[in-house]
Structure formats: C-alpha cells, structure tokens
A = this chain, B = another copy of it.
C-alpha cells in the first residue's frame, strides 16, 4: 500500500508538471478501497450527522451549498492519487468567514468532525475524510481582496487557485512567491496550511517568510484576525505561523496576505555534466557565489536518472553521458547581464574542470526542453516496473549518500536513482523493481527513515504528514516536540474535531 501511494505520487507529479497523460497501472483503476479498511483505522467518538444538522447547515448556507447527493459527494472523499477514500455524507461550501465560523461553532458543540478541503491535491491523504467527517470545501471562497502593487502585498480568500492568483499578479508585474506542479488546482489556503515549498523556494524563500497575515477560524468558531499586510509588525505573539503547516488541525485558514516579488524579466537555464557528486556540491557553492541573487533553481540528477529517462521517454540530452548532471536556472531583471554571468560561470567552471560539458539556454523552447528531461524522471521510472519513492531532506554533505547505500543493500534486483532540489536539501530517491515485492519493502523501510533520522534529516521534506505519515513522524520529531504538538492541539481544538486521524500520532 505504501508502494501504491508512492508510485501514484510520481505519476501525479509528472502529470501536473508536464500535462502529459501517462497510461499507467492506476489510470483506469476502480474506486479506491476505503481508507478505514485499508489502513485499519478505528472511528473516534464523534457525533453522526443527522437530518437536523443538515437543516441547520442549509439555514446558514442555502440549499445548494449543502451537498448530500452520494455521487456529488464522492469526489470529495477521494484524494488526487486515489490512495485514500473517506465516507463523508455531506460537503459544505461556505462563501464567507462568518459562515465558516458558524459551521465550526455548531460542529464543535455537537462533536461533529470536520475535514477542510482546498484543491485536494495533497499527497499524504490530509485533504480527504477518513470516516464520515463533514467536508468543508473552500472552492467558493475564491475572491482576490486587494493587491498593493507597490509593496507587492496580495490579500485573498483561502479558496483561490494558485495559478489564478499568479496570473492575476503577473498582470501587475508581480509573481506569487511559490510555484507547484499542482498550481492549476491547489488552493492558496491549502498551500499555507501545508507549508507548500515548491520550485521557487531557493530564490523566494518559504511561506513563513512570505506570509504577511492570516485570518483563521478556531475549532470553536472564534475568528482569529491577523490579516495585516505589513512586513514589520512586532506587536505580540506571531500567531499566523500556528496555521502554517499544521494541515488544518489547529484552525482553518480563511484569508491570507502574502508578499509577491517582482516578475523576473529574464530566465536562463544551464545543463551541465559532472564527474562526481562532490563536484556537484562544489559547483553549487560556486554558483551561489557567482550568481548569488539570480540563482532560482539548482537541481541534480545522477546518470542513472537521466539514462532511463532519455531511453523511456525518447528524449535527447543536449550533452553526452556523464556520472552526474546539474540543471541550473536564473531569474533576473536584465537578460544581457544574466546571460553574461551564466556564460562566465560556465566558462570558468569548465576551466576548473568542475563542469565537464554544458549548455546554456535562454529561448523558452530550449529552456522547456531541458526542464522536460528533469521533470520526466518520475514517469520514466514507472515504465520500468514498480517504484518506491522517497521525498526526504538531508544535510548537503550527506545529500547523496543513501543512494549508494541502497544500491549496495539491494544489489542487482533493483534500480536506485537519486535526483532533486540541492538548493533546498531535498532529494528524491526512487527504487524501481520489476514487480511489487514485500521483501524489498522490508529492506527499504524503516531502514531509510532510520538513516534519515540519524543524519538529522526530514522524512517528509514538503508533502507533510497528513493521514499517511503520522507513524513516521517520530523519525523527525522527538518526544518533547511531539508533546508540545499534542498540547497545542488540545488547546486549540479540545474536542479534536478538526481534521482528525491526521498529523498527530495516536500514541503522543
């Protein structure tokens, strides 16, 4: 089951990034098994939705925004990668914070569990119910409230789709500070609730830094209004961060203010071949120093990643075969300056021998062709058999060491590849075998998580914990931290109605 999840994940990431339909083993699968059965979860002691409850919700929201028809509710019960299926009987579609507040106050009093849902693009089952939790969909809270073109402060409702907001601010010469494969579907409220990282983190930083303000509703219906759009505000506790990355378990984000950087005028992409991983790190250090402020991505791929991708996806590399590859991107305000910097960097590092061969692209078509190789890796793996995928953060010095370790551990039965965002310390490790094999799973897990833990890494770099990973959280959080998490949950949501069965392990 873990494998299915993992494999599905690769497909979705690929689909989302490249808009290519892969005819894979899960494309035509039947309705997923119920999460409660598949993962053997016991329902907690919540109330059950009654006709009177439905009537109450209708009195707040109107008839149309209380969905109870089984087939209409179904899509809200199944996650994007078709790994989880809940049993909710009702979806509520509030349009205002006041409505969200009323719904939660009522549910809290009646002990009715609630599952907040944005674009439902999460990869760890956090956005769908497990049992009969009421789904609170934010699809109708999708208004952009204001944009300060000078400061770059955007204020909008939680249900805005990331791509729509990005298009909106691009018309004002700004961009959203985050970019994800799922941008056409995911909601900005979900991005904040899951602390989405994405492709631009190296350049524009994380959401804790970009988020200016938040409005959120506590389990008891209290609206926490921290919706200022100021860059500096040291008046008391910085409450908004409680709602970033807590996956809807401490409160529900209804509005947010975020800082949008200026739209870059020039984009450059380089693709380089290198001798070994040590040189990949040395080159990263040099790129940071030479390109500093314009460096927007620094991705690494081992030869095994690229070789299989070129073969399976029928792509051509702009350079011959090397043990390691780097894809480097810049975002800047002056095309001539950026090209000059990148060419100078390439020329210098070819002289030093760090780069064995390389190409630099500035035309959109060529840029896209290079990115396509990088983005096709997950889907290319799928074509070779069954894939176990891991998405972990590691200190840079140890970034690649799990790959040779796993190769040695698994021998010739498996193909192990490593690729990822070096700039963010985030590596994807894919292990491909011909067919699913429980023994291989036993060799991989918990070994990988234990190694990540020893190296002070993170067992979930960006996807979060959700429903699928609470049992692994202790590999990255010690008892003191887990204890404080539990205390915060009890404080903010004493009846535990907000997104139950998620994030917190039961034994904390």
Residues of A within 8 A of B (CB): 148-153, 173, 194-195, 197, 201, 205-206, 208-210, 218, 222-226, 228-239, 241-242, 244-246, 250, 261-262, 264-265, 281, 284-285, 288-294, 331-334, 337, 340-341, 393-397, 421, 423-426, 456-465, 469, 473, 475-478, 480-485, 487-488, 491, 503-504
Contacts and interface: CB of A to CB of B under 8 A. Distances in A.
B246 A231 contact: no
A240 B265 CA distance: 36
A463 B224 CA distance: 23
A477 B225 CA distance: 8
Given A201-B232, A232-B462, A341-B337, A245 B239 contact: no
Contacts of A459: 235
Given A148-B396, A236-B485, 13 more contacts: A197-B232, A201-B231, A205-B205, A206-B232, A229-B395, A235-B459, A236-B476, A237-B245, A238-B245, A241-B241, A241-B242, A291-B333, A337-B337
A238 B208 CA distance: 9
Contact of A230 (B289, B341, B425): B425
A209 to B, nearest CB: 2
Nearest to A205: B209
B234 A245 contact: yes
A289 B231 contact: no
Contact of A484 (B224, B294, B331): B224
A280 to B, nearest CB: 10
Contacts of A424: 231-232
A480 B222 contact: yes
A432 to B, nearest CB: 24
A223 to B, nearest CB: 6
B238 A461 contact: no
A165 to B, nearest CB: 19
A225 B480 contact: yes
Nearest to A202: B231
Contact of A234 (B173, B289, B291, B463): B463
Contacts of A223: 480
Nearest to A231: B424
A335 B155 CA distance: 37
Most buried by B among A195, A332, A337: A337
A12 to B, nearest CB: 17
A255 to B, nearest CB: 13
